[in-house]
Amino acid sequence: MIKLHDKYFVPYVTATELDEVVSELARNLKRDMEGEVPVFLSVLNGSFMFTSDFVKKYDGDCEVSFIKLASYCGTESTGTVKELVGVNQSLKGRSVVVLEDIIDSGNTLEVIYDLLKKEKVKDLKIVTLFFKPVAFTKKLKIDYIGKEIPNRFIVGYGLDYDELGRNLPEVYQLKRKKMINLVLFGKPGAGKGTQANFLKEKYSLKHISTGDVFRFNIKNETELGKLAKTYIDNGELVPDEVTINMLKAEVEKNLDAAGFIFDGFPRTTAQAKALDELMQYEGMQVDATIALEADDEVLIQRLLERGKVSGRSDDQDEEKIRNRFTEYNEKTAPLTEYYKKQNKFHSINGVGTIEDITERLSKVIDSLVAVNTMKDK
């Protein structure tokens, strides 16, 4: 771990991996540049190190030129891009290859496109070492991407945090506060939503209920809502691909949260694997899966009771409710083993007063928080 100004950063991309990524970018570009002498246009300051390594690995004639743009202040992109040093040679009729260290919002790239439009270049290609797909808001072409990364602040290998860190030969990521990520597990009506509402306040966690997100979309008649409606109405699971993509988007919108409560996700092995991958990509993990246990007959009574007032289509008749149980038994129950193998499975009695159950859940969560605090020290 390193400290720059007031912040801590942890190792993220090694010098060896950077070397491989840059070599491959140079090779791929060369292959597409037959018979051309490109002008590499390096975007300062960030890309000085990338440019230096890239051109050494580019096996062919080339020219190198620089422009200087600035859009960052601290760890936040300011949104406005200032041109500090412009293009200082004629690029008319030339094959220009822009070398960027990182593309996130795309604001700088937009300015570059505008700048080069005026230059009447013959051909323009964009090469970036890093790309943040989640942060990218523009419809602009990027021809070569070295490595896609999550929307987190990085330093090193030319990239800075308030001017420090550019000289580091490897890339570091801003250290994240220790998060607690929980999966609330249990049959329909087990009390996942009810308990999540208390736990999110108590532990300042972001509650993501895939069922709630689907219902929100159905209410607003979005494409996603239309797609999900028939499945939900019949008490069947919505297909994995749709659900996984939706969950990813919800997580990525809330990366500054202190942690997540996943309610109603994952519900299949494919979803559990996707969640593990997503957590790993974002530098987090599922800390625990807590199951709320209750008998079917108790649950059916709860849901039919709720159905009288909630208007939820899947709470209206016993047959649909039983179908939700069947889906659970066939597709979701196997996840118990999945999480047991990871030593993350906890089970508590879901029958009793709501306060008692919150208390039982809190005991499990408090023990996790204690372990995490010890690890952090």
Please report, in range form, the residues annotated as the binding site.
189-194, 210, 215, 236-238, 264-267, 271, 306, 312, 324, 352
| Interactions with ligand AP5, residue window 244-273 (CB under 6 A) | 264-265, 267, 271
The amino acid at 287? D
Contacted entry of Mg ion, ligand AP5, none for residue 36, CB cut-off 5 to 8 Å set by kind: none
| Interactions with ligand AP5, residue window 287-306 (CB under 6 A) | 302, 306
Of 156 and 264, which has the nearer Cβ to Mg ion? Answer: 264
Is 306 annotated as catalytic?
yes
Alpha carbon distances (Å) from 331 to 37, 200, 203: 58, 27, 30
For 199: left if phi > 0, alpha if psi spans -120 to 50, otherwise beta; the answer is alpha
Looking at beta carbons, which residue is closest to ligand AP5?
Answer: 211
Stretch that binds ligand AP5, among 37-45, 48-56, 132-140, 352-360 (CB under 6 A): 352-360
Q: How far is the CB of 326 from ligand AP5 (least distance, A)?
A: 11
Pairing of strands 95-103, 39-44: parallel
Catalytic position from the list 192, 200, 206, 302: 192
The amino acid at 98? V
Taking CB under 6 A as the rule, does residue 106 contact ligand AP5? no
Rounded to 5°, angle at Cα 346 from 312 and 334: 65
Looking at beta carbons, which residue is closest to Mg ion?
Answer: 193
349: CB partners within 8 A, 6+ apart = 293, 294, 357, 360
Q: How far is the CB of 105 from ligand AP5 (least distance, A)?
A: 31
Q: How far is the CB of 273 from ligand AP5 (least distance, A)?
A: 13
Distance CA 174, CA 155 (A): 8
Taking CB under 6 A as the rule, does residue 190 contact ligand AP5? yes
Taking CB under 6 A as the rule, does residue 125 contact ligand AP5? no
Taking CB under 6 A as the rule, does residue 225 contact ligand AP5? no
For residues 98 and 124, is the Cβ–Cβ distance under 8 A?
Answer: yes
Taking CB under 5 A as the rule, does residue 312 contact Mg ion? no
Q: How far is the CB of 355 from ligand AP5 (least distance, A)?
A: 9
Taking CB under 6 A as the rule, does residue 243 contact ligand AP5? yes
134: CB partners within 8 A, 6+ apart = 150, 151, 252
For residues 293 and 350, is the Cβ–Cβ distance under 8 A?
Answer: yes
Instruction: From 201, 192, 202, select the one nearest 211 (Cα to Cα).
Output: 192
Taking CB under 6 A as the rule, does residue 207 contact ligand AP5? no
For residues 126 and 109, is the Cβ–Cβ distance under 8 A?
Answer: yes
Stretch that binds ligand AP5, among 28-36, 98-106, 122-130, 235-243 (CB under 6 A): 235-243
Q: How far is the CB of 266 from ligand AP5 (least distance, A)?
A: 6
Residue from 38, 106, 146, 186 touching ligand AP5 (CB under 6 A): that is: 186
Is 192 annotated as catalytic?
yes
Contacted entry of Mg ion, ligand AP5, none for residue 179, CB cut-off 5 to 8 Å set by kind: none
Distance CA 65, CA 234 (A): 62
Of 45 and 210, which has the nearer Cβ to ligand AP5? Answer: 210
Helix axes 269-281, 240-253, angle to 10 degrees: 30
Alpha carbon distances (Å) from 217 to 209, 225, 228, 246, 353: 13, 4, 9, 11, 32
Contact residues toward Mg ion (CB under 5 A) are 192-193
**Catalytically active residues, by annotation:** 192, 267, 306, 312, 324
